[in-house]
Amino acid sequence: MALIVQKYGGSSVADAESIKRVAKRIVDTRRAGHDVVVAVSAMGDTTDELLDLANEVAPIPAPRELDMLLSSGERISMALLAMAIHSMGFEARSFTGSQAGMITDSQHGAARIVDVTPIRLREALDEGAIVIVAGFQGFNRDTRDITTLGRGGSDTTAVALAAALDADVCEIYSDVDGIFTADPRVIPSAQKLDHIISEEMLELAANGAKVLYIRAVEYARRHGVLIHARSTFSSSEGTYVLGEGMKNPRESEGAAMEEPIVAGVATDFSQAKITVAGVPDVPGKAAEIFKIVAKSGANVDMIVQNVSATGRTDISFTVPKADAAAALKALAGEQTEVGFQNLIHDDQIGKLSVVGAGMRTHSGVSATLFEALSAGGINIEMISTSEIRISVVLRDADLAEAARSVHTAYGLDGEVEATVHAGTGR
């Protein structure tokens, strides 16, 4: 008998029918003799609808009240799910985040879990019940208020529960079959991975892959939780996300293979590029510029600076499209102080990243990337690397084609086209 934590995303519990389907899946797991703890998201687009509603009554909704409102989405789905399980003849009990002992800091809308005290969950499990927990929410001890963990936060709830209860596995169910070598909507020949190491998963998630939420993967990595990302809509196994030193549960079945050098290719259309042109080439200017940008709240990703021949240089960097306006405004306000000539905003860029832990020990990985791009006549605008990742910025119109040829160049193409359930991965 194992203890299994399962997380169901909003698309898996979008209506009464889906809730019943999920209930059946939970009951099947229980029937197989396992203890089950479920973290559930709000039904379908409930969270977005509640957000819209909040914005209709107030231009800037009070953060405390917004969390009260948004946390209600998960209360609806948890109660309905428990009812559905009951009517199938099984004992199920739902709990809010605070009842479940999900203790967070006080940061409304982006709270971090600081402690998990699942006393009531343990009791319910001991009494033979299936436990259903509202995802995405917690409680702060100092303010005694309800908090939410940020969009997509139910993944983190599930992983935190798995860590606190010492579960055997944390299954994250969504409408995609697992983790792919690339986004199957961009690259139809992408294939589902049997497993991926969490370090690679973090790089993919940070660079555009949306299947798993970064914070959840980080939490799992830190606490040694085994994640199994799989689909609600099929019974086939998904992808295991392995932390350091973790063994692939399927390896004993003979699935062991030589690890590929590249695990996947990520595409990201969400960034914009800002160029600060004609910056005086003297010490301290980059510090000034990025202090201004940081103050505007923009999150800088890639940076390049040209060599200067004329005593002035251009500094380009990327930020999320949503942050670009604030960064531009802040920079424009300090133009004379910094002494640059002008600002250029470009939101027609795309970022392509190649991720693989094997890069540490293999040479020639970047050469393969650049050759594939050059064969396609694709121009590279920026380059950045980490130990296990190479990213390039391109024209956004070139990104899909570039990603396909790079995917092929690394030998990642599958034999059969990936099935896409038109899902969002949530």
Applying CB under 6 A, which residues contact ligand ASP? 9-10, 41-42, 47, 73, 135-136, 151-154, 426
Give whichever of 42 and 130 is closer to ligand ASP, judged by the CB atom. 42
Rounded to a whole number of angstroms, the minimum distance from the CB of residue 158 to ligand ASP is 9
Rounded to a whole number of angstroms, the minimum distance from the CB of residue 73 to Mg ion is 8
* Residue of this chain nearest to ligand ASP (CB atom): 154
Give whichever of 8 and 240 is closer to ligand ASP, judged by the CB atom. 8
Cβ proximity of 394 and 352 under 8 Å: yes
Give whichever of 231 and 353 is closer to Mg ion, judged by the CB atom. 231
Residue 147's binding partner among Mg ion, ligand ASP, none (Cβ under 5 to 8 angstroms by kind) is: none
Rounded to a whole number of angstroms, the minimum distance from the CB of residue 44 to ligand ASP is 9
Rounded to a whole number of angstroms, the minimum distance from the CB of residue 354 to Mg ion is 29
Asked if residue 174 binds Mg ion (CB under 5 A), the reply is no
Residues with Cβ within 8 Å of residue 227, at least 6 apart in sequence = 159, 169, 170, 171, 172, 198, 212, 216, 217, 220, 240, 241
Rounded to a whole number of angstroms, the minimum distance from the CB of residue 316 to Mg ion is 35
Cβ proximity of 136 and 42 under 8 Å: yes
Give the number of residues in contact with Mg ion, rule: CB under 5 A: 3
Give whichever of 356 and 425 is closer to ligand ASP, judged by the CB atom. 425
Could you tell me which stretch among 39-47, 109-117, 161-169, 345-353 binds Mg ion (CB under 5 A)?
Answer: 39-47
Task: Print the binding letters for residues 72-91 with Mg ion: x by CB under 5 A, - otherwise.
Answer: --------------------
Rounded to a whole number of angstroms, the minimum distance from the CB of residue 51 to ligand ASP is 9
Could you tell me which stretch among 6-14, 269-277, 366-374, 402-410 binds Mg ion (CB under 5 A)?
Answer: 6-14
Q: Which of 4, 10, 27, 230 is the binder for Mg ion (CB under 5 A)?
A: 10
Rounded to a whole number of angstroms, the minimum distance from the CB of residue 45 to ligand ASP is 8
Could you tell me which stretch among 35-43, 169-177, 192-200, 228-236 binds Mg ion (CB under 5 A)?
Answer: 35-43
Asked if residue 313 binds Mg ion (CB under 5 A), the reply is no
The encoded tokens of residue 355 equal: 């991720």
Asked if residue 41 binds Mg ion (CB under 5 A), the reply is yes
| Residues near Mg ion, by CB under 5 A | 10, 41, 47
